[in-house]
A = this chain, B = another copy of it.
């Protein structure tokens, strides 16, 4: 019956069960729900029912649910359930979720919460928090099962059964030697198919792909995507197994990275969602806009430098927005290719040289087509062949320059370990604006007496 209910029906049913105190029926509904559903229901239900809802949920439910909630709601839940239940839930939470939750808390509260937790769990979380942000170590979990290499299939199944609860979502067993070094991996499927007395080390896969704990999360995502893994083991130097990273966290990384690239690219400011408050959104966007305002003024001052030419031939102003706009557009097109490529390709010298030459040839094609077009248009519109030549030849040159700066600048920034997405947008815009206006008015000034 619960199977086909909509969220609204579910919420209504749960509220009725809470009101009537029917904990058994409540339980049978909850057992059919996913953590995301429990979290969604918590957020959507009227506030007055929340305390009771939480009191009816088990520690396991609360642990699962917290993983699906936004930070602000996580804190609400931890506050409302009371210290004992909160501590129990924290003990069971995924380490990476917990580390993220604790990270932004004030020191005192964090210490207090950590000290109330089980020593082993609290130690594990603190270990995670020692790894740099965005590293594999920071997002790994200790909820996996490892076995010594001398185990038989039967031993492994026994161990798996006793760790059933924590072995929930991963379907590999990681095999280590006496020095805790990762030596192999065995899937649950191989375990099911193996004979009880077979040795794990004869069944296991030994060329294990692993991530380094200090490796960037984006690189780990690339490994998981490339190999179609469900989880990847994380090792420290000397190949000592310290945790695993699961595919569900990797999907979040991929989405977050795409959002970040997008935000930087649009200079739209970090983390503006539909829920961000207006003044916060303004505050996050303004630095970019003020920067772009001054960049616009630089163009203005270049134009003012050519004031005399402009006074003599006002028609020069008509083509100005088009020339600088096109330079910007072609630069953006190249930038997009480079930035998305940087996250996927190996950037060796050969690739870079090939890319630069490709973009150069592309810009010649594009420049030729666009300048012929604009020559025709401007001759028809302004009836002035020389003006047409000035506009067309400047456009040809600026399109090449725009493309090259959109290609080369992000590569240089990448080599300098500056994030090219964030830095090259304004840099390329400024440079392209300045160069396009200089070229346009430069060529125009050379011919001004004939125009």
State the A residues within 8 Å of B (CB): 2-3, 32-36, 157, 160-161, 164, 167-169, 171, 188-189, 191-193, 205-209, 224-230, 247-248, 250-252, 254-255, 258-259, 261-263, 265-269, 272-274, 276-279, 281-283, 285-286, 288-290, 292-293, 295-297, 299-301, 303-304, 307, 310-311, 314-315, 317-326, 329-330, 332-337, 339-341, 345, 351, 354-355, 358-359, 361-362, 365-366, 369-370, 373-374, 377, 381, 433
Contact between A36 and B226 (Cβ–Cβ < 8 Å)? Answer: yes
- Residue A326 contacts which of B272, B281, B292, B314 (CB distance < 8 angstroms)? B292
Instruction: Name the residue on B nearest A169 (C-beta).
Output: B228
Contact between A321 and B296 (Cβ–Cβ < 8 Å)? Answer: yes
Contact between B333 and A321 (Cβ–Cβ < 8 Å)? Answer: no
Instruction: Name the residue on B nearest A307 (C-beta).
Output: B314
A-B contact pairs, 7 of them (CB 8 A): A34-B227, A171-B230, A188-B188, A225-B252, A278-B362, A289-B370, A300-B318
Contact between B261 and A262 (Cβ–Cβ < 8 Å)? Answer: yes
What is the CA–CA distance of A386 and B224 in the complex, to the nearest angstrom? 61
A230 nearest CB across to chain B (Å): 6
Contact between B157 and A281 (Cβ–Cβ < 8 Å)? Answer: no
Contact between B285 and A366 (Cβ–Cβ < 8 Å)? Answer: yes
A210 nearest CB across to chain B (Å): 10
What is the CA–CA distance of A359 and B272 in the complex, to the nearest angstrom? 11
Contact between B304 and A315 (Cβ–Cβ < 8 Å)? Answer: yes
Contact between A278 and B226 (Cβ–Cβ < 8 Å)? Answer: no
Contact between B2 and A207 (Cβ–Cβ < 8 Å)? Answer: yes
What is the CA–CA distance of A273 and B250 in the complex, to the nearest angstrom? 23
Q: DSSP class of A's interface residues: helix, strand, loop or mixed?
A: helix
Contacts of A209 on B, CB cut-off 8 Å?
34
Contacts of A345 on B, CB cut-off 8 Å?
274
Instruction: Name the residue on B nearest A358 (C-beta).
Output: B278
A369 nearest CB across to chain B (Å): 6
Instruction: Name the residue on B nearest A324 (C-beta).
Output: B321
Contacts of A283 on B, CB cut-off 8 Å?
365
- Residue A322 contacts which of B193, B205, B296, B361 (CB distance < 8 angstroms)? B296
A65 nearest CB across to chain B (Å): 13
What is the CA–CA distance of A167 and B187 in the complex, to the nearest angstrom? 12
Contact between B365 and A282 (Cβ–Cβ < 8 Å)? Answer: yes
Contacts of A3 on B, CB cut-off 8 Å?
206-208
What is the CA–CA distance of A167 and B329 in the complex, to the nearest angstrom? 49
Answer whether A269 and B207 are a contact pair too, CB < 8 Å, given A225-B251, A326-B292, A362-B278: no
Contacts of A168 on B, CB cut-off 8 Å?
189
A413 nearest CB across to chain B (Å): 17
Instruction: Name the residue on B nearest A301 (C-beta).
Output: B318
- Residue A192 contacts which of B188, B229, B355 (CB distance < 8 angstroms)? B188
A197 nearest CB across to chain B (Å): 17
Q: Which 7 A-B pairs have the closest CB atoms?
A: A296-B322, A258-B258, A266-B336, A282-B365, A278-B361, A228-B248, A32-B207
Contacts of A366 on B, CB cut-off 8 Å?
282, 285-286, 289
Contacts of A377 on B, CB cut-off 8 Å?
297
Instruction: Name the residue on B nearest A334 (C-beta).
Output: B268
Contact between B171 and A188 (Cβ–Cβ < 8 Å)? Answer: yes
Contacts of A293 on B, CB cut-off 8 Å?
322, 326, 370, 373-374
Contacts of A289 on B, CB cut-off 8 Å?
326, 329-330, 333, 366, 370
Contact between B290 and A370 (Cβ–Cβ < 8 Å)? Answer: yes
A194 nearest CB across to chain B (Å): 10
Instruction: Name the residue on B nearest A266 (C-beta).
Output: B336
What is the CA–CA distance of A266 and B266 in the complex, to the nearest angstrom? 9
What is the CA–CA distance of A295 and B304 in the complex, to the nearest angstrom? 24
Contact between A247 and B251 (Cβ–Cβ < 8 Å)? Answer: yes
What is the CA–CA distance of A27 and B225 in the complex, to the nearest angstrom? 26
What is the CA–CA distance of A290 and B225 in the complex, to the nearest angstrom? 37
What is the CA–CA distance of A345 and B324 in the complex, to the nearest angstrom? 36
